[in-house]
């Protein structure tokens, strides 16, 4: 029996016992070394340049030391990975191709490269930084991805792009001068945290995804922060976006999602034409329904919240709208209530009072009146905005409470801004953080469900 147990143990440990370390030499052609290595082997790359492209077709560990650089040949991808359980770390990769239609990338994860791990990579090139398709549970952490700032933004590749991928983990990466920082299409179960985005189109771009969570990501100097499009069951929590042009957060045909404790500020379009609706929007809701939007801060933007094509069924409460040029733009003809169980939102433009001292205004708040909607429908009437007649009509509308059955009403406006937290500097370890966030989300969703019933 002891012999049988020992034999079984040795059989289980065999891949580890037999794994070998190979050390390459700068300038060496690496493909023969990769082909001759056995599954589980580690190939160490000392400082220096190594010619690409390379293909990893068996589970190997490719470990670069400081200064190790994989140099592509200027076209196509620099590194292809088709084997599951491959690990690549510590490399600089540059000089791959710029043909985004051919999926040129610094690293291309091919179908079947399940559980691939990419860590501490520095990628500099015009195409995709990392492209992945038809695989499960890849891990991408602590990478820096830079595109070509000379290219028009839509001609660049995304920093990280994934299609038909399940359960990816993407944490602590920095992306700039690419198209979208992280682009996910037909993805489910993604976990994205502590990533940073600068000088690109959208920080995170969801398309046809579900069951995704993103927390503590930061976007700055971007066209848009976080785009949730044709997706469902997304939790976007504790993220930030500053100095965006089009929007901070976009909910476009997105349902059953939670947007909470995010900050969107200084969203401004310097070339905006109000008649075209192109002003910067801290939050843009476009035909998105049945979402929970709470405890966010939308501040110092052209428009705090813009609503188009319906927003029925959304729960909107505990948010702070602070010093936006236009707090809310809603042209619809239906009445929307933006409070929940006696708790509304904070509006820096609210002029009411709180006689009983409970922190809630004694009178409802309507951010827009009938004249606002009229001027949005007929932008040419903007030239009459400051005329005495318009000012008189606006005063009468507020005084007589005209058309309260149309537009947005907050029946319980808050008298103080809601604080939002950011514990980025004291984040726990990855596993603990993921477990804590998912447990917190489950608790929050249960609270919402109980409250709705």
**Residue 226: which CATH number?**
2.160.20
Overall number of domains in the chain: 1
Residue 450 lies in a domain: no
- Residue 32 within a domain: no
Instruction: Give the pTM.
Output: 0.83
Pairing type for strands 292-294 and 315-317 reads parallel
pLDDT of residue 353: 86
- With respect to residue 44, please indicate whether it lies within any of the assigned structural domains: no
| 441 contacts 283 by C-beta, under 8 angstroms | no
Beta strands 105-109 and 79-81 are parallel
- 439: DSSP letter: H
* pLDDT value, residue 93: 98
**CA distances from residue 148 to 68, 92, 199, 245 in whole angstroms, order as listed:** 21, 16, 11, 20
Listed in order, strand segments (DSSP E) in 333-373 are 335-337, 346-347
Cβ partners under 8 Å of residue 131, min gap 6: 77, 103, 105, 107, 108, 109, 157, 158, 161, 162
Let me know if residue 74 belongs to a domain. Answer: no
Task: Kindly report, residue by residue over 374-415, the tens digit of the pLDDT.
Answer: 444 445 444 454 556 555 544 545 544 445 556 789 999 998
Assigned domain for 25 exists:
no
Q: What are the average pLDDT values for consecutive 10-residue runs of the chain, which has 453 residues?
A: 45 54 90 94 96 96 96 96 98 96 97 98 97 98 97 96 98 98 98 98 98 98 98 98 98 96 97 83 95 96 89 89 92 82 92 87 78 48 52 50 66 88 37 42 44 44
Q: Which is nearest to 90 in space by CA: 121, 69, 47, 56?
A: 121
pLDDT of residue 241: 98
**Considering the domain boundaries, does residue 318 fall inside one?**
yes
Confidence at residue 302, expressed as pLDDT on a 0 to 100 scale: 96
Note the pLDDT of residue 257. 97
Contact in structure between 109 and 77 (CB atoms under 8 Å): no
* Inside any domain, residue 349: yes
pLDDT value of residue 112:
96
Give the pLDDT score at 421: 54
How far is the C-alpha of 202 from the C-alpha of 220, rounded, in Å? 10
Domain containing 222 equals 85-92+106-423+437-445
Helical ranges in 27-92 per DSSP H:
31-36
Encoding tokens for residue 181?
């920082």
Q: Is the peptide bond between 49 and the residue preceding it cis, with omega within 30 degrees of 0?
A: no
- Has residue 61 been placed in a domain? no
């Amino acid at each position: 029996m002891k012999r049988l147990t020992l034999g079984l143990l040795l059989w289980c440990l065999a891949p580890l016992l037999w794994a070998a370390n190979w050390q390459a030499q700068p300038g060496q052609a690496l493909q023969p070394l990769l082909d001759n290595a056995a599954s589980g082997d580690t190939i160490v790359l000392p400082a220096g340049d190594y010619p690409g492209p390379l293909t990893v077709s068996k589970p190997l560990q490719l470990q670069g030391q400081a200064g190790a650089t994989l140099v592509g040949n200027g076209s196509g991808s620099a590194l292809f990975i088709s084997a599951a359980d491959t690990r690549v770390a510590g490399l600089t990769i540059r000089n791959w191709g710029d043909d985004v239609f051919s999926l040129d990338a610094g690293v291309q994860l091919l179908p079947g490269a399940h559980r691939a791990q990419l860590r501490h990579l520095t990628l500099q090139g015009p195409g995709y930084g990392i492209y992945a398709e038809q695989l499960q549970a890849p891990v991408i952490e602590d990478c820096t991805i830079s595109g070509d700032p000379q290219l028009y933004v839509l001609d660049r590749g995304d920093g990280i792009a994934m299609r038909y991928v399940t359960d990816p983990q993407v944490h602590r990466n920095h992306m700039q001068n690419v198209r979208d920082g992280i682009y996910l299409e037909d993805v489910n179960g993604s976990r994205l945290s502590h990533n940073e985005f600068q000088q690109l189109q959208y920080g995170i771009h969801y398309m046809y995804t579900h069951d995704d969570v993103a927390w503590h990501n930061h976007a700055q100097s971007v066209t848009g922060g976080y785009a949730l499009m044709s997706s469902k069951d997304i939790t976007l929590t504790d993220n930030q976006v500053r100095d965006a042009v089009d929007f901070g957060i976009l909910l476009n045909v997105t349902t059953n999602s939670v947007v909470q404790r995010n900050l969107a500020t200084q969203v401004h379009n310097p070339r905006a034409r109000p008649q075209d609706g192109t002003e910067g929007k801290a939050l843009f809701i476009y035909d998105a329904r049945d979402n929970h939007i709470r405890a966010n801060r939308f501040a110092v933007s052209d428009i705090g919240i813009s609503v188009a094509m319906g927003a029925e069924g959304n729960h909107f409460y505990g948010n702070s709208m602070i010093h936006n040029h236009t707090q809310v733009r809603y042209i619809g003809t239906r009445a929307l209530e933006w409070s929940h169980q006696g708790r509304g939102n904070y509006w820096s433009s609210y002029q009411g009072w709180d006689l009983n001292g409970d922190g809630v205004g004694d009178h409802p708040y309507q951010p827009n009146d009938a004249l606002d909607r009229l001027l949005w429908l007929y932008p040419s009437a903007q030239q009459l905005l400051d005329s005495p007649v318009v000012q008189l009509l606006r005063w009468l509308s507020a005084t007589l409470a005209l058309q309260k059955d149309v537009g947005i009403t907050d029946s319980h406006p808050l008298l103080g801004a809601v604080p939002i937290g950011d514990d980025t500097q004291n984040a726990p370890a990855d596993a603990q953080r993921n477990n804590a966030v998912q447990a917190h989300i489950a608790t929050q969703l249960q609270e919402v469900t109980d409250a709705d019933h």
